[in-house]
Structure formats: structure tokens, C-alpha cells
Amino acid sequence: MTNPDERIVLVTGGAGFIGSNYLNYAVREHPTYKFVNVDALTYAADPGNLEVSDARNYAFEQADIRDKTSLTALFEKHRPTHVIHFAAESHVDASIKSPDIFIETNVLGTHNLLVLAKGSGVKRFHHISTDEVYGSLGKEDVPVKESAPILPNSPYSASKASSDLLVRAYQRTFGLDTVISRSSNAYGPRQYEEKIIPLFLKNLLTGKKVPLYGDGANMREWLYVDDLVKGIDLTFHAGHAGEIYNLGASVSLSNLELTKKILGRLGLDESRIERVPDRSGHDFRYAIDSSKAKQELGWEPVITIEEGLTRTIDYYRKKFGA
């Protein structure tokens, strides 16, 4: 790794949910680094998410990772020494309706970045992935470790699994220093209102019902975004080259249990739930084992679901004036 004073960290997708929360943390935490935020500013991105826009060690460039020509110019302009790659299409429902953009962004866009990172001597390439690449678990299955096979079931998770494999190939074949982090469902402030928690809060705070798929039995782990970004930062700095790190939550809830928690926090009852037909190929459960991150990085989540939901609800109350 280079001298920290010389690090120029290119961060893709830094105006999105996780990327912006990461930059708001890391730009302040590492004042000797220069962070270059590259974002296409698609529908789920918002420059207003960034609280560090005026920081001396922060710069923004609008560009699409599918556009190799623009990326090449940015690599030549900023000469990044490190890359943290958040940028991705990530909404499963959208991937079922329109898979093409997920392949173009998540697979081809990632490959563009890998080619340029390899060609420009980048010291570390940190790829942000998801627990969805492991596929669906049964209710009694144990949480999966990083060595588990990847068995994606949606176009979204398949595109992320494909990008993971490209990252692995560039490490094994070309010697590019890479790390991959795979996380549970993240939630918290600044998340676009297509994901379940902000969507449900938006609907409930504006007098609407919430659309709950099927019987609501599908299970997810919930990781507050502040815990996640600290795990990402530790993986970036201390993860071993070529390794994968699961960043999982300690809280697992069915979608119905989560919905009831949100309703209870808002003083509402189950009459605000609207049952809707289940989506195609809906994975039943995700659960990942984070013992490797705890042992090697010293990371584990500290924010409880109660505290995290309180912070998240406060944010969306202010956003929607409720």
C-alpha cells in the first residue's frame, strides 16, 4: 500500500445510498486522502446526499462507468491509486423487468474499471457486493461463509455475481490487488424510496398503505448503514488481497416482522398493509456469517435495529415533513 498522504481514492457511485454514507464518513476520517466521487447521477443518486462537498480532499466527476472513454479521461486526470467500487444497479424488481441495464452497468461497467485499474497501476480495488450472490437459504440453514458457492437467482444478483468473478479473475490472472465485501440488506438515511424500509416509511408518512409481497415470510438481515460503511473502510484498509469479507447483520426479520416494527414505531396498525402478489423468483432468506470480518478486521455491527429504525424514521419524517 502507498503512503497514506499519497492516496487518491476513486469512489464510484458516491452519490447513492451506501456510497454517500461512506464518503460522509471517510472524507472526514482520512483527511490526507483525496476522494474523487464518480457518479452518473441516475434516478437513485442525489448530490444532496453529500455533506462533504466543500471538503478540500473531495472532488466530484459526473460520468457513467459504462462509458470507457469518459472513465479513461478521469483516470488520466486524477491518476487514482485506489478504487472503491459502489456503483451498481441494485433494485431486484427493476432487474426482473429490464435486465439489460444491470448487465451493462454491473458487469461491463465493472470490467471497464478493472481494465483501467490494471493499466494504471492501482494499488487496491475494493468491490462492493451483496449477500444475494449466495442465493436463497431455508429457514433452518446456517448462515453462509465466504467459501460458499454463489447461486444467484435474480438478474440483479446474477450481474453482481458476474462482477465478483471478474474481480477475482483480475486478481488471480493479472495480480491486481482486490478485495470484495458482501453485505446484508443495508438501511438508514439517504436510501432511495424503492427499497422496502424507505418505501414503507414514505407511504405510511404520506397516508398510504404499504405493499407487502405474499405472506411476508421472506427473511432478511438488516444492517444499519453506519455499521456497514465502517466495515467497508476496514475491509479497504486491512483486508487481505484476493479475499472476500462478509459484512452481516446480527438481526434477521421476516418482511412481515419488519413491517410490524415500522407500524408500531409510527403508532399504526396492520390495516395499513396491502397484500400484493409475490414477485417472480423471490428468494426466501439471506443470512451470512461475518466471523471472518470480526477475526481479521475487528469489525462487528454495534447499532441495534431499534436504534437504527429510530434514526431512519427521524430522517424520513424530516424529509416528508411528517
- As a whole number of angstroms, the distance between CA 61 and CA 205 comes to 34
Backbone angles phi and psi of 130, in degrees to 5: -145, 155
Pick the catalytic residue from 39, 64, 89, 132.
Answer: 132
Instruction: Verify whether residue 67 is a known catalytic residue.
Output: no
CB 256 within 8 A of CB 215: yes
Catalytic residue flag (residue 192): no
Buried b (16+ CB within 10 A) or exposed e, 20-33: bbbbbbbbeebeeb
Residue 241 CA from chain centroid, whole number: 20
Q: What contacts 97, CB < 8 A, 6 or more positions away?
A: none
Q: Which three cell numbers stand for residue 54?
A: 466543500
Q: What burial letters (b/e) apply to 117-151, b meaning 16+ CB within 10 Å?
A: beebebebbbbbbbbbbbbbbeeeeebbebebebe
Instruction: Mark whether 156 is an active-site residue.
Output: yes
Which is catalytic among the residues 156, 187, 286, 316?
156
- Indicate which residue of 131, 164, 227, 233 is catalytic: 131
- 104: exposed, middle or buried (Cβ count in 10 Å: 0-12, 13-18, 19+): middle
Task: Write out the catalytic residue numbers.
Answer: 131-132, 156
